[in-house]
Amino acid sequence: MQIHRYANAQQAGQAAAILIGAQLLRKPDSVLGLATGSSPVPTYQQLIRMFRGGVLNFSAAIAFNLDEYCHLPEDHPCSYHHFMREKFFRYVNFAAGHTHIPNGNAEDLTAECARYDQKIIKAGGIDLQLLGIGRNGHIGFNEPSDQFVYGCHVVKLTQSTIQANRRFFDREEDVPREAVSLGVGSIMNAKSVLLIATGSDKAEAVRKAILEDIDPCTQASILRTHPNVIFLLDEAAASQL
Ligand code: F6R
């Protein structure tokens, strides 16, 4: 486990972009695991700059997103499909059909989860997984629980996550209550993991994940057993270490 501390979120995000860029240069057909939310935005901005500058090329890469809300239309401004298109995909050159996000509107969500896991396996597994962390220590939408769930599954979002994501929606009742998320097993199967945590509201989750027992109450704590995980933290998120 490596921990890198930065003065601010911008620097932490740029460090993640450098590591993702290096991964792509070493292996142009890398399978990237991607996240949504505020944490990876500076990383996507930097990757877009590197693409525009001719440094990076995504044409052979494949992307799998961690999660998507259930029962929210893909073109809804708060869907993760919309987020990824607007914050990243439309500005770089992934080949058609190379970007994947779970379908939270599938009629049979259990079958969708199995299909998504199979797709990742078929692509050769995730080379590099980018993660944020929830205030409650979640990764993907793997919420605090008495167990770690291995595969992609449907999750009931906790009140803490609904509150945290409320900022993107007009009203709290509009925040979806369920999501499809990659399981912790699939995240742990990634060859390398980068977790970005920025802001003081992540400090407690970061402390629990890094310093306290490995416990499904803080799902991110399992990352400490990963052979190749890097935590990229700003000072505020690292303030309880
Ligand atoms: C997003 C995801 C979540 C977020 C986490 C932090 O795809 O899987 O685990 O990474 O909720 O969200 P932000 O970055 O908005 O604080």
Chain length of the chain: 241
CA of 146 from ligand 1 middle (Å) equals 21
Ligand 1 atom at minimal distance to the Cα of residue 140 = 8
Structure tokens at 163: 């509150």
CA of 231 from ligand 1 middle (Å) equals 14
**Is residue 115 over pLDDT 90?**
yes
Residue carrying structure tokens 């058609």: 96
Q: Parallel, antiparallel, or unpaired: how do β-strands 229-234 and 2-6 relate? A: parallel
Residue of higher predicted confidence among 168 and 34 = 34
CB of 140 closer than 6 angstroms to any ligand 1 atom: yes
The yes-or-no answer on residue 189 being catalytic is: no
Mean pLDDT of the chain: 97
The yes-or-no answer on residue 67 being catalytic is: yes
- Using a pLDDT cut of 90, give the percent of the chain over it: 97
Sheet architecture: strand order including 67-69: 67-69, 178-181, 153-156
Can you give the C-alpha Rg of the chain in angstroms? 16
pLDDT at 160: 87
Angle 110-116-122 (CA atoms, 0-180°, nearest 5)? 135
Nearest CA to ligand 1 atom 3: 140
Task: Tell me the C-alpha distance between 224 and 211, whole Å.
Answer: 9
Task: Tell me the C-alpha distance between 37 and 16, whole Å.
Answer: 15
CB atoms near residue 52 (< 10 Å) = 11
pLDDT at 164: 87
Q: What three-state secondary structure class fits 179?
A: strand
pLDDT tens for 187-212 read 999 999 999 999 999 999 999 999 99
State which of 36, 186, 200 you would mutate to test the pocket of ligand 1, scoring each by most atoms of that ligand within 8 A of its C-beta: 36
pLDDT at 127: 98
Ligand 1 atom at minimal distance to the Cα of residue 201 = 16
pTM for the model: 0.97
CA of 66 from ligand 1 middle (Å) equals 9
Rounded mean pLDDT, 133-140: 97
pLDDT tens for 24-79 read 999 999 999 999 999 999 999 999 999 999 999 999 999 999 999 999 999 999 99
Nearest CA to ligand 1 atom 1: 36
Q: Domain 2-234: state its class.
A: alpha beta
Q: Which residues contact 35 (CB under 8 A, 6 or more apart)?
A: 65, 66, 130, 131, 132, 140
What residue spans define the domains of the chain?
2-234
